[in-house]
């Protein structure tokens, strides 16, 4: 008989919205599962027990990022499964879902299986692959949705590109029901977007850059909501960025259509004003918008219109970003800055802490249909612990990600991931805790 491994996490403020819990208490983990929550949990004297005193820290179910780009296979000069998942662990995430826009694209069970095998040897966190909607993300022919589902995908998406053919998208929604998969929409009408590189408006005119109108996003959000209604399928809107999208999603929910949505840290904290110094790290799809959009997005998280807080971690190499704004790739890294930005820059004035935790734990778990995001007894012991008081400055040179394309370098933060625990094992411990506990 093997000896059980136990971990006792003591004296933390435990917040678990899945069971309406907010209390200073202890958690006992045995063999990768939560076995008890409460004070003075009895432990067996014969069992080896590791004890972690987390006084002053906040303990939550493990954070889940449903929107990460890991780049492997094919883009390993930007990120590998190993570097991306270490970056996730350092950002406090215990689970991530990775998008299909790798090379080759994850549009078949072979690629899904390849990713899962790589993950089992290289990743400290759980990785849930997302399959493509169309072969090669070309928008012409459906990918092998059924066999990818058997191989382990949790959702389908052509993220990075929009499926412009509404007939094909409808078919994908129809199929997704059969396989109980959510369809994630990257909502940007490619014709309206054209060769635009930033939000269309006063600032694009000022900076002399081609604009992308908000309508490019909103027409696809509206289309996909109608198609979700038509098919009865589950639709998820990735990186909602405009007040107009929020209004459409709110109305669709009111009408009982199965739609969920996510927002990113950058769309909640930066406006298109940030493009001013032509820092290509601000170039992202969809683009940074305006103050009124940020306000609508903040409110939408507070009232539940937006369900999940994602990262849209999109690593790109230096040579792909250190070029003219027009030629730079779209995207920014986000795993190591997502939670700190949400916690330091948005939370105080707009949400309560349990809303933030819900949107990073059980709500994203429900969207992709995985049994995660809770600290209930019997659940996997995936736990994120953060230090709410630690003050620090974002330094992109210190990222564990292979890429450094962040516009947040030099920003001051209060609050930092402290411990990341997956299946009862501490896989990340922040250096700032040295000398403590
Ligand atoms: O800016 C973005 N970059 N948006 C996306 O949707 C895709 C991503 C990427 O893959 O680089």
pLDDT at 111: 98
CA 418 distance to own-chain centroid: 19
Please say if 352 is a catalytic residue: no
Chosen domain end from 340, 368, 396? 368
352 and 243 together in one domain: yes
**211 falls within a domain:** yes
Is there a contact between 135 and 142 (Cβ–Cβ < 8 Å)? yes
Q: Quick one: tokens of 164? A: 């412009």
**259 falls within a domain:** yes
**284 falls within a domain:** yes
CA 33 distance to own-chain centroid: 24
54 and 69 together in one domain: no
Catalytic pick from 26, 107, 189, 312? 312
Output the CA 330–ligand 1 centroid distance in Å.
6
pLDDT at 167: 98
385 and 285 together in one domain: no
Is there a contact between 340 and 398 (Cβ–Cβ < 8 Å)? no
The answer to whether the CB of 101 is under 6 A from ligand 1 is yes
**373 falls within a domain:** no
Q: Whose CA is nearest to atom 4 of ligand 1?
A: 285
Residues 6+ apart with CB under 8 A from 153: 106, 112, 128, 129, 130, 131, 181
Give the CATH number, domain containing residue 294: 3.20.20.140
**For a pocket test of ligand 1, which of 280, 315, 329 has the largest count of ligand atoms closer than 8 A to its C-beta?**
329
**1 falls within a domain:** no
Q: Is 267 helix (H, G, I), strand (E, B) or coil?
A: helix
Structural domain tally of the chain? 2
24 and 76 together in one domain: no
Is there a contact between 78 and 103 (Cβ–Cβ < 8 Å)? no
Output the CA 373–ligand 1 centroid distance in Å.
26
Segments forming the whole domain that contains residue 364:
62-368
Sign of CA dihedral 268, 271, 272, 278: negative
Q: Return the ligand 1 atom nearest residue 186 CA.
A: 6
19 and 120 together in one domain: no
Output the CA 121–ligand 1 centroid distance in Å.
26
Q: Return the ligand 1 atom nearest residue 284 CA.
A: 1
Question: DSSP label at 2?
Answer: P
CA distance 119 to 116: 5
The answer to whether the CB of 284 is under 6 A from ligand 1 is yes
**206 falls within a domain:** yes
**225 falls within a domain:** yes
Residue 375, exposed/middle/buried by CB under 10 A (0-12, 13-18, 19+)? buried
N-to-C CA span, the chain: 32
Chosen domain end from 324, 343, 368? 368
The answer to whether the CB of 100 is under 6 A from ligand 1 is no
129 and 29 together in one domain: no
CA distance 352 to 354: 6
Output the CA 287–ligand 1 centroid distance in Å.
10
332 and 405 together in one domain: no
Q: Taking the CA of residue 18 as centre, how many other CA atoms within 13 Å lie in the half-sphere pointing to its CB?
A: 20
pLDDT at 2: 61
Output the CA 186–ligand 1 centroid distance in Å.
9
Give the CATH number, domain containing residue 27: 2.30.40.10
pTM above 0.95, yes or no: yes
Output the CA 314–ligand 1 centroid distance in Å.
6
Q: Are strands 235-237 and 383-393 parallel, antiparallel or unpaired?
A: unpaired
323 and 292 together in one domain: yes
Phi, psi of 417 (to 5 degrees): -55, 135
Question: In the chain, how many H helices and how many E strands?
Answer: 15, 18
385 and 410 together in one domain: yes
**349 falls within a domain:** yes
422 and 323 together in one domain: no
CA distance 167 to 153: 23
50 and 86 together in one domain: no
pLDDT at 17: 98
Q: Quick one: tokens of 289? A: 């918008």
**For a pocket test of ligand 1, which of 184, 282, 285 has the largest count of ligand atoms closer than 8 A to its C-beta?**
285
Q: Return the ligand 1 atom nearest residue 69 CA.
A: 10
Strand ordering across the sheet containing 308-309: 63-68, 93-98, 126-131, 155-157, 182-185, 235-237, 259-263, 308-309
Q: Whose CA is nearest to atom 3 of ligand 1?
A: 331
330 and 399 together in one domain: no
Chosen domain end from 346, 368, 390? 368
pLDDT tens string, the chain, 437 residues long: the values are 466 789 999 999 999 999 999 999 999 999 999 999 999 899 888 888 999 999 999 999 999 999 999 999 999 999 999 999 999 999 999 999 999 999 999 999 999 999 999 999 999 999 999 999 999 999 999 999 999 999 999 999 999 999 999 999 999 999 999 999 999 999 999 999 999 999 999 999 999 999 999 999 999 999 999 999 999 999 999 999 999 999 999 999 999 999 999 999 999 999 999 999 999 999 999 999 999 999 999 999 999 999 999 999 999 999 999 999 999 999 999 999 999 999 999 998 889 999 999 999 999 999 999 999 999 999 999 999 999 999 999 999 999 999 999 999 999 999 999 999 999 999 999 999 976 55
């Amino acid at each position: 008989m093997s000896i059980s491994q136990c971990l006792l996490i003591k004296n933390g403020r435990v917040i678990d919205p899945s069971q309406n819990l907010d209390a200073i208490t202890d958690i006992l983990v045995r063999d990768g599962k939560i076995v008890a929550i409460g004070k003075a949990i009895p432990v067996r004297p014969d069992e080896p027990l590791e004890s972690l005193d987390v006084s002053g820290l906040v303990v939550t179910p493990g954070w889940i990022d449903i929107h990460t780009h890991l780049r492997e296979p094919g883009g390993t000069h930007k990120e590998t499964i190993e570097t991306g998942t270490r970056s996730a662990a350092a950002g406090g995430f215990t689970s991530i879902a990775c998008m299909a826009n790798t090379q080759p694209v994850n549009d078949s069970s072979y690629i899904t299986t390849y990713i899962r095998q790589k993950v089992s040897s290289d990743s400290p966190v759980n990785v849930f692959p997302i399959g493509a909607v169309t072969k090669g993300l070309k928008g012409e022919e459906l990918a092998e949705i059924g066999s990818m589902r058997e191989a382990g995908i949790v959702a389908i998406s052509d993220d990075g590109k929009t499926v412009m053919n509404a007939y094909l998208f409808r078919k994908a929604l129809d199929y997704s029901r059969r396989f109980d998969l959510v369809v994630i929409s990257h909502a940007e009408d490619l014709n309206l977007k054209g060769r635009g590189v930033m939000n269309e408006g006063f600032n694009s005119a000022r900076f002399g850059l081609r604009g992308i109108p908000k309508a490019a996003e909103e027409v696809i959000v509206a289309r996909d909501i109608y198609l979700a209604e038509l098919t009865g399928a589950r639709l998820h809107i990735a990186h909602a960025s405009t007040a107009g999208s929020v209004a459409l999603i709110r109305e669709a929910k009111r009408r009982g259509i199965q739609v969920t949505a996510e927002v990113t840290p950058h769309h909640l904290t930066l406006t298109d004003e940030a493009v001013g110094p032509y820092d290509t790290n601000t170039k992202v799809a969809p683009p940074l918008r305006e103050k009124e959009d940020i306000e609508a997005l903040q409110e939408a998280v507070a009232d539940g219109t937006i369900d999940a807080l994602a990262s849209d971690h999109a690593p790109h190499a230096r040579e792909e970003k250190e070029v003219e704004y027009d030629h730079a790739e779209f995207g920014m890294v986000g795993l190591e800055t997502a939670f700190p930005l949400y916690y330091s820059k948005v939370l105080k004035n707009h949400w309560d802490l349990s809303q933030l935790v819900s949107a990073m734990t059980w709500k994203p778990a429900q969207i992709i249909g995985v049994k995660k995001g809770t600290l209930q007894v019997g659940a996997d012991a995936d736990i994120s612990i953060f230090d709410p008081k630690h003050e620090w400055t974002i330094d992109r040179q210190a990222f564990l990600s292979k890429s450094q394309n962040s516009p947040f370098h030099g920003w001051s933060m209060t609050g930092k991931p402290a411990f990341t625990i997956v299946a009862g094992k501490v896989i990340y411990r922040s250096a700032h805790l040295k000398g403590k506990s």
